[in-house]
Every structure is written in C-alpha cells, then in structure tokens.
Amino acid sequence: MTRRKQAAPDKITAPAKARVVTPLTARATTPEPVDAATLREIFSRLSAANPEPRSDLEYLNAYTLLVAVVLSAQATDKSVNIATAPLFARADNPAAMLALGEETVRHHIRTIGLFNTKAKNVIALSRILVEQHGGEVPRAREHLEVLPGVGKKTASVVLNVAFGEPTIAVDTHIFRVSNRIPLAPGSTTDKVQAGLEAIVPEPYRLNAHHWLILHGRYVCKARKPECWRCPIAELCRYPDKTPGPG
C-alpha cells in the first residue's frame, strides 16, 4: 500500500505592514507677513517707481470702463482694448449700446473669450442703467454688483478707477503677490481684499490696486518671478526667489 504524501501546510505570512501616509502640510519656511514699517517701505518704492499708475484697460468714461472690465474676465487687457476701440467709437454710453443691439456687440467682441455671454451681459447691464439709473453708472457697490456680468472684483475696479474710492480689486496677480511677499495672505480673494484694505497705509490706498496688479503682471510673474529686477526684492520674504539670468 502506497502511503500518500501529506500536503505541506499553507505558508503563513505576516500581515502586510500598513503604509503610513504623511498628511500634506504647509512648508515650514512659510514666512510671516511683513511688518508695518516694511509694508510702508514697499508701497513707498512702488509709488516712486510709478507715481501715477493707470489701468492697462482703455476707456473713455465710467460706462466704458465698466464694460471693459466686464469683457476682461478670462481675457487679456490687450485683447479687450483691440475689440473695444471700434466698439466705443460707436457706443460710449448705455443708450447708444442698446441701439447697436446684441448682434452688433457680439460682432465687435467676437475675438474675446466667452463673447456670446459677454455680449448678452453688456446689453442687459446697459438696459438696467438706462431704465433704473438714468443712463449713469451707479456709485453704490450694491447697485453695481447686481448688474449682469458684474461681481465684487469688477465693482471694486469701477469704484476705484472711476470714482476714486480706495478699494482693492483682487485678481490672480494681486492674490499671488499678496501671498508671496506676503502682505495680507489669505486662502480666497475676498480674504486677501479685506486684509489689504485693512493694512495698506492711507497715503497709498487709492493706487495700491494698480501698483500690485502691475507688479504681479510684469515683475512678480506666476511661473518665474523676475526677482533680480524687483524694486522690493530685499523686503520680500518669498523663500524661492529666482536668481538673475546668466
């Protein structure tokens, strides 16, 4: 009688060791916001470099400024200026824009992103201005923010540029610059705006919006800030400064 070979017992292995996942945390070297003296010096230098800053958008009055800012959403100021030059030559007030009609407005701005929606908004806001505000751009934020295509940022730009109010409209450039330096860091544009408006020294509040947006657009760029030619480089606490070329 042949004896069957007993099968070897299954090999018992130890349970796999659980992988420990380390949660992502903010970099340990994230700097504290600049102090009040440094903040004043930063704006003093930006002011000295550009005493009378202006928006890159081209406009004729408060109404054309409003339209230009509405059109600039997700578009460059240069592309908006190219489209609005002939448009504003034909219509520089709400009544004239309504007379042109949506189809003509659409034709003028067809090279700008989201032009179909923007044409509808321009006509709709123009109608509201004619019917509810006597054809004038209102100076009250609550009236501006309910206009089609107008949000907090657009309203802040109009209030600042057209009516001289010391508001700071936070776009992607200002958001980046404020968090990099840092001036008034925040996780949202609203938080950054509130922070900046609370700390910018009074003599610089009116033009702070322009200085910061231009600084972010031409010097403190998103992918590669040009730190080597920055007028506030030694005041900025950004830890990853870009070395000079060459």
Instruction: Say which CATH number the domain at 99 has.
Output: 1.10.340.30
Of 153, 168, 148, 162, give the one whose Cα is nearest residue 211: 168
Q: What is the pTM of this model?
A: 0.83
The tens digit of pLDDT for each residue in 49-89 reads 999 999 999 999 999 999 999 999 989 999 999 999 999 99
- Is 176 a residue whose pLDDT tops 70? yes
When the pLDDT of each residue in the chain is averaged and rounded to a whole number, the result is 90
Whether 155 and 171 map to the same domain: the answer is: no
182 and 224 both lie in a single domain: yes
pLDDT at residue 3 is higher than 60: no
* pLDDT at residue 87, rounded to an integer: 98
Q: Cα(141)–Cα(165) distance, rounded to whole angstroms?
A: 11
Q: What would the mean pLDDT of 228-243 be, rounded to a whole number?
A: 95
Of 118, 171, 190, 221, catalytic: 171
Residue 20 has pLDDT above 60, yes or no: no
Of 35, 118, 153, 190, the active-site residue reads 153
For residues 181-213, b (16+ Cβ closer than 10 Å) or e, as one string?
A: bbbbbbeebeebbebbbeebeeebbbbbbbbbb
Query: Average pLDDT, stretch 184-198?
Result: 96
Identify whether residues 82 and 118 lie together within a single domain: yes
Is residue 219 situated within a structural domain?
yes
153 is an active site residue: yes
Do 183 and 154 share a structural domain?
Answer: no
Range of the domain at 75: 62-161
SS3 of residue 162 by DSSP: coil
Last residue of a domain, one of 138, 161, 184: 161
**What is residue 29's predicted lDDT score, i.e. its pLDDT?**
60
Residue 16 has pLDDT above 50, yes or no: no
According to the model, what pLDDT value does residue 108 have?
97
d(CA 160, CA 230): 26
Mean pLDDT of 171-186: 96
CB atoms within 10 A of CB 214: 21
